[in-house]
Each structure stands twice: as structure tokens, then as C-alpha cells.
Amino acid sequence: MKSIQSHIEIRTGSDSDIPRIKAAYQLLEHLGIPYTPRILSAHRTPGVMADEASRLSENGFRVCIAAAGGSAHLPGMTASETLLPVVGIPVQTSIMGGIDSVLSIIQMPEGIPVGTTGVGQSEHAALLAAQIAYLGENEIRNKIRAFLGIKSKLSGQININPVIGVVKTNTAHFDPIKYQKMVSFLQKAGIETIEYDVTSQTKDEAVHYLAELERKGAVANIIVYSVYHRIDGELSPGFWSSRTDIPNIVLPVVTDADLAVDEITRGMLHDRLILEEFKIMPNWGAVAFMGINRYQNAALYGAQIAGVFFPSISENINNYRSEIASVVREKDERIKTDGIGPFF
């Protein structure tokens, strides 16, 4: 008997992670979605891990969930070897409560994004992975929508398109240049963007915006928000993730001006980010959290989701990856000839 093609791989750094992310396997089983469990370590089996990551796409996978604890390099190194979106689960650790795992996963350098969940939020990871992998399949999308408590069903055959929504919250505290680069990166990659400034809008209008995204067959929704300058009653990332099954990418931003503050406020910012948001991501549901100010990575992650379904976009990302790799090689060549002198 031929088994059903699995589109989701779940790799863990060790078998000791498996009981800690039980909810991920359980949710996929509940939704009737097949998955492939693997144990691969960026540290202990680097060659095999990289090899298997580079073959994910040709093996029929559409998304990879990677869970690891402590110095958790597995999600990031997997992401370096594939163009598929990677969902990282920071595993709870006994000494540092998993904050070590989160920080090892989330703050990837620009160019290689990992969509990160809160510590141990394996059910969210599975949900997000299912949302990505089955974007084009209505029956499963409707199951996911029912699970999320969304009343309306998608009817007929859904035609997904390379369309991505960008929700802006409190734009006064964005880096305008990086924001614009993010949007033009998406457009250059062949993606239509629908920007939505939520600052002065009501919930009704937000629901309207989501309906438009769904009608257009959008493949992702990027939510950009200022960590430091929250607006009272603003629509939090959780608002979006409970109202649509389109994968939500959350980008927290902080400006230089925010950081040029006294020790106490800086400490508050640190606590809010590190203790509240990175670790527990309170009630935000299944969202792909990006590192702070990783504008480019938010765009790339969205493009990678689109690339699962649109080969020309995947090709564009591949070219981009080659470009960033050659920039590093050129710098290395230069340092070999010029040394470190020019840096000082």
C-alpha cells in the first residue's frame, strides 16, 4: 500500500525533545495530516542534517518544523539549507527555561529567516505548518478554520496567488527605509502586496481587510508592530491569528530612538521583549515570529511561503541567496588580501 505523501517534516535535535513537543504530533493527527518525524542534529550529525535539509523540497515536503533546546541551531541551520519555510520550536530547558533556545532560533541574520514560536508552543508550530502546507487545499483549510473557531468556510476551489498582506501598526515608530525595502523586496520577487495601516482603523475594517486577503488567495499576512510604542487597544498579533488561517508573520520593530533611552526604560524594553514576548508570545496563536528589526527576513519568509507554490518565486529567492553568499565570499577574499586594517 502506498502511504500518503507527507508534506510536513518534524525534525528534533534529540529524542528527548519528542515528549516535549507531543502537542505538535497530536494536532496534526487530529487534523488528519501526515507528517514525517526525524532526529537530526546540527551539532551531532551536521553533515546528514544539512543533506536531509537540502533535499526536503525534492522529497515532497512543503514546510519543516524544527525543534531543539539550549544552543538550538537546528532550525537555523536547516533554514540555511532549504528554501522551504522552517518553523522553529524553542524547547523548554531546565536551567534557563527555554530563553536560551528562543534566542538561538529567533534572531537569525538577515537572509535566512526562521518562523519562531514561543517556548514549547508546539501546537502553534503544527498549526502554522499546516496552514502553510495546505494553503491550496480547501478541505484541510476548512478543518483548520474550524479548529481556530472561524465561522466562515472557504467554498469552491481556492485559487491561491502570490499575494501578501502587510499590516502596519504605529508606523511613526518604524524604520521607513527598511520598511520600504521590505515591501519592494516582495514586489521584486513577483509578489503583490496589500498594505493596511491599522493605526486609525476599527476592528470591522480589519475584518474587511482579511476578507479581501482571503478573496485574493493571499499566502501570508505580515504584521509589523512597534515593540516599544504600543497603542492602547491596538489589534495585537493574536487578533489576526484567530481570524484567518492565512499564515501570519509577526515582525517586532524597535527604532534607534527607542533604544537611546535611560537604563530603566531600556530594562523595561528588555523585559517586555525577552521575558514576555519571546518566551510566551501571549495569546498570539500560531504566528511566525521574526527577530527584532528583521524586516528583510519577514519579507523573505513570506516569499518562501509563496515559493512553495510558485516556482518562479522560489527561483528568485534562490538567486537572492546566491547573492548574499557571494557577498560574504567577496568579503572573505578581501580580508585575505587586505587584512583587518581597513576596519579600523
Binding residues for ligand C2R, rule: CB under 6 A, are: 13-14, 16-17, 41-44, 68-74, 91
Contact 78, 11 (CB under 8 A): yes
Minimum distance, C-beta of residue 46 to ligand C2R, in the bound complex (Å) = 8
Minimum distance, C-beta of residue 261 to ligand C2R, in the bound complex (Å) = 34
Bridge partners (DSSP) of residue 253 are 226
SS3 at position 40: coil
Nearest to ligand C2R of 74, 313 (CB atom)? 74
Amino acid in position 22: K
Q: Which residues are annotated as a binding site for substrate?
A: 14, 17, 44
Nearest to ligand C2R of 67, 140 (CB atom)? 67
| Residues contacting residue 95 through CB under 8 Å, at least 6 positions apart | none
Minimum distance, C-beta of residue 86 to ligand C2R, in the bound complex (Å) = 12
| Residues contacting residue 302 through CB under 8 Å, at least 6 positions apart | 164, 186, 191, 219, 220, 222, 249
**Distance between CA atoms of residues 29 and 22, nearest Å:** 11
- Burial of 7 by CB count in 10 Å (0-12 exposed, 13-18 middle, 19+ buried)? buried
Nearest to ligand C2R of 46, 60 (CB atom)? 46
Nearest to ligand C2R of 89, 144 (CB atom)? 89
**Distance between CA atoms of residues 222 and 241, nearest Å:** 11
Nearest to ligand C2R of 45, 161 (CB atom)? 45
Minimum distance, C-beta of residue 68 to ligand C2R, in the bound complex (Å) = 3
Minimum distance, C-beta of residue 305 to ligand C2R, in the bound complex (Å) = 23
Amino acid in position 115: G
> What is the CA angle 49-51-56, rounded to 5?
95
Count CA within 13 A, CB hemisphere, residue 63: 30
Minimum distance, C-beta of residue 247 to ligand C2R, in the bound complex (Å) = 24
Radius of gyration of the chain (CA): 20
Nearest to ligand C2R of 71, 242 (CB atom)? 71
